[in-house]
Amino acid sequence: MRYGLKIFFFVMGLCIFSYGIAMAIQVKDLGVSPWDVLNIGLHEKFNFTIGTWNIIVGFVLISVTININKKYINIGTFLNAVLVGVLVDIFLFFQLLPSSSGLPFDVFLLFMGIVLMGIGGGMYSAAGIGAGPRDGFMLSISEKTGISISKVRIIMECFVLLIGLLIGGPVFLFTFIYTFIQSPIFQASFHWCSRMLDHMIESFYEKKKAAS
């Protein structure tokens, strides 16, 4: 039961997170996250789908992280890298997204995408099945260098943004405010989902104990 609930939270979180990415990409001219700037830039320059590049970049990060600190890599990390890429491609290919209909609605879609990414990221992280490729990479770099996680995140996202910009990825106003919006939502979602998951598991075992 415990593992079933964790897997449910993990998969649902990945689905919500991926849908948020796809929504933001749908209105990419307003600006996307630094990592998506890179993925879209790679897609436009070298073909392959955006989701495929998400998987490729994820596995590159996993490979580097393994050589730095293996403790941040497990089965959930690989599942994260693959499933997010596949789900983003599915949502985009089958157009399972609200249609763009003017600037005000596009801004709303972008904010909704950012919110969903924060909620989904907090949800799958709360499951404790594995850090995402980016998270594991940043945690390993932080531990290796002694630099705070927040500083490592800022440095890495600036570096990724620069590469994405140089190869033609879309950069606009909202690219620079992603972290400020998404991070607090991620944190709130993580804490709420963690408490909810603990409560559900505890309630299950209490009922099981009372019935025996």
Which pLDDT does position 152 carry in this prediction? 84
Domain that holds residue 158: 2-211
**What pLDDT score was predicted for residue 212?**
67
Q: What share of the chain is helix, strand, coil (3-state, %, to 5)?
A: 85, 0, 15
Q: Hey, what are 12's tokens?
A: 């649902």
Q: What is the pLDDT of residue 147?
A: 87
Task: Give the whole-angstrom CA distance, residue 117 versus residue 141.
Answer: 23
DSSP structural state of residue 152: H
pTM assigned to the model: 0.91
Which residues have a Cβ under 8 Å from the Cβ of 41 and sit 6 or more positions away?
A: 163, 164, 165, 166, 167, 168, 169, 170
The total number of structural domains in the chain stands at 1
pLDDT of res. 1: 65
Q: What is the pLDDT along the chain (212 residues), one digit of tens a residue?
A: 678 889 999 999 999 999 999 999 999 989 899 999 999 999 999 989 999 999 999 999 999 999 998 888 888 999 999 999 999 999 999 999 998 788 899 999 999 999 999 999 989 988 888 778 998 898 889 888 988 877 888 888 889 999 999 999 998 888 888 878 888 898 899 889 999 999 888 887 777 777 76
